[in-house]
């Protein structure tokens, strides 16, 4: 079913606004080749980054418009000082039924308990490889052991199940799909394999590096036996599957089989721009409204109006291109850092 009853806004394709991804910082402590491959970045000015009070106020306004799921992301969200304080504010909002965090895990071991105590419900950790030397080469970091410790700490803190995100890239980690699945199974975590996307930041993207959902499922089936699709929430981005022993894993096929028709996600950049699509340029400057003294009603009205006009189908439009190359080259990202994945929130 598309659309929700009542006065909540739906866009031109009948999609409600139910999910909000909030980027709390554009900074990151990794330099993954598919997201932040450059040595130098133009950071958003500190004064432009929304305060916790501003984020929380906006979250309340979004919740009034139907948002019940919030995911904190970045950049690396755990680089934002005192994140549990923000979590604690957001978790007190009854309308926000699902509060989650996506992190690279490097700093998670020291934060997991405080986040849980503050009311965080779910954690997703990005884990592209089990091999420290690969992480060093691909993300320019020697902190692989810290990521594993972060996953263990999240488990111990009671985030069950922890989800693990792996972007599968041909020639880099496509030989680790089975190992990552086994690793997750041993830890009681749920792995999700993500097709490599041509988003801003992926300046070296090419279609031949994309390992499709079909290929991923074939690899898994060759090792573990027949893979069964599970009947799921049609609005969720990950399609979930079960192995013969009941182990569940997900695949996010945003490149070869995008889910635009059921995309109910808005995004809030760290500097307060409300974006309608991971690929899109259209946005609404909420920071200006918040700092300019607009009332909650005015802001809600502007968000609803913007959402109602939404037609975005970014991933489908990319899929339908005859000659698909990178979305943005480095010059275009430097001209507007909000085009970067780490600024708009992955």
* Residues at the site binding ligand SAM, with contacts judged by CB under 6 A: 28, 34-35, 73-74, 76, 102-104, 126, 165, 167, 194, 196-197, 199, 201-202, 341-342, 346
CB of 295 to ligand SAM, least distance (A): 32
The H or E element that residue 140 is part of is none
Which residue is listed with tokens 């990950």? 238
CB of 106 to ligand SAM, least distance (A): 9
The 3-class secondary structure across 203-270, one letter per residue, is CCCCHHHECCHHHHHHHHHHHHCCCEECCCCCCCCCEEEECCCCCEEEEECCCCCCCHHHCCEEEECC
Which residue, 101 or 284, has its beta carbon nearer to ligand SAM? 101
Which residue, 108 or 299, has its beta carbon nearer to ligand SAM? 108
CB of 26 to ligand SAM, least distance (A): 10
Half-sphere exposure at residue 116, Cβ-oriented, CA atoms within 13 angstroms = 16
Which residue, 88 or 126, has its beta carbon nearer to ligand SAM? 126
Which is nearest to 104 in space by CA: 34, 181, 160, 198? 34
C-alpha span between 125 and 326 (Å, rounded): 26
For residues 279 and 318, the answer to whether their CB atoms sit within 8 Å is yes
CB of 298 to ligand SAM, least distance (A): 31
The torsion defined by the Cα of 31, 236, 120 and 55, in degrees rounded to 10, comes to 70
CB of 3 to ligand SAM, least distance (A): 28
C-alpha span between 115 and 125 (Å, rounded): 14
For residues 113 and 157, the answer to whether their CB atoms sit within 8 Å is yes
Which residue, 86 or 167, has its beta carbon nearer to ligand SAM? 167
Which residue, 28 or 263, has its beta carbon nearer to ligand SAM? 28
CB of 12 to ligand SAM, least distance (A): 26
Taking CB atoms, the residue at the shortest distance from ligand SAM is 346
CB of 195 to ligand SAM, least distance (A): 7
Q: Is 229 exposed, middle or buried (0-12, 13-18, 19+ CB in 10 A)?
A: exposed
Please, what is the end-to-end C-alpha distance for the chain in angstroms? 26
CB of 258 to ligand SAM, least distance (A): 12
Which residue, 64 or 280, has its beta carbon nearer to ligand SAM? 280
Strand order in the sheet with 190-195: 228-229, 239-242, 248-252, 190-195, 163-168, 122-126, 98-103, 69-73, 19-23, 265-268, 273-275, 283-285
Which residue, 76 or 239, has its beta carbon nearer to ligand SAM? 76
Which residue, 17 or 270, has its beta carbon nearer to ligand SAM? 270
CB of 29 to ligand SAM, least distance (A): 8
**Residues whose CB falls within 8 Å of the CB of residue 231, separated by 6 or more in sequence, listed in order:** none
Which bin fits 228, alpha (ψ -120 to 50), beta or left (φ > 0)?
beta
Which residue, 34 or 41, has its beta carbon nearer to ligand SAM? 34
For residues 224 and 197, the answer to whether their CB atoms sit within 8 Å is no
């Amino acid at each position: 079913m598309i659309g929700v009853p009542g006065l909540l806004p739906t866009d031109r394709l009948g999609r409600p606004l139910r999910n909000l991804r909030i980027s709390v910082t554009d900074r990151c402590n990794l330099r993954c080749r598919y997201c932040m491959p450059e040595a130098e970045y133009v950071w958003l000015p500190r004064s432009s980054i929304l305060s916790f009070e501003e984020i929380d106020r906006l979250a309340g306004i979004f919740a009034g418009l139907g948002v019940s799921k919030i995911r904190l992301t970045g950049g690396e969200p755990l680089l934002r000082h005192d994140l549990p304080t923000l979590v604690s504010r957001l978790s007190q909002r009854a309308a926000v039924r699902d509060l989650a965090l996506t992190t690279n895990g490097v700093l998670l071991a020291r934060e997991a308990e405080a986040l849980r105590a503050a009311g965080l419900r779910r954690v997703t950790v990005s884990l592209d490889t089990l091999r420290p030397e690969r992480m060093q080469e691909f993300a320019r970091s020697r902190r692989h052991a810290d990521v594993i410790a972060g996953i263990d700490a999240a488990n111990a803190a009671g985030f069950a199940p922890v989800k693990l995100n792996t972007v599968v890239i041909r020639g880099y980690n496509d030989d680790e799909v089975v190992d990552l699945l086994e690793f997750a199974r041993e830890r009681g975590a749920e792995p999700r394999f993500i097709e490599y996307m041509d988003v801003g930041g992926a300046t070296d993207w090419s279609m031949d590096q994309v390992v499709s959902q079909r290929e991923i499922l074939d690899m898994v089936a060759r090792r573990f036996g027949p893979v069964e699709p599970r009947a799921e929430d049609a609005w969720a981005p990950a399609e979930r599957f079960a192995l013969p022993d009941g182990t569940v894993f997900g695949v996010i096929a945003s490149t070869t089989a995008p889910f635009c028709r059921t995309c109910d996600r808005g995004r809030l950049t760290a500097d307060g721009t409300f974006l309608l699509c991971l690929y899109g340029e259209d946005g609404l400057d909420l920071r200006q409204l918040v700092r300019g003294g607009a009332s909650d009603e005015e802001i809600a009205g502007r968000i609803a109006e913007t959402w109602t006009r939404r037609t975005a189908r970014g991933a489908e439009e990319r899929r339908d291109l005859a000659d698909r190359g990178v979305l943005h080259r480095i010059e275009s990202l430097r001209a507007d850092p909000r085009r970067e994945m780490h600024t708009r929130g992955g």
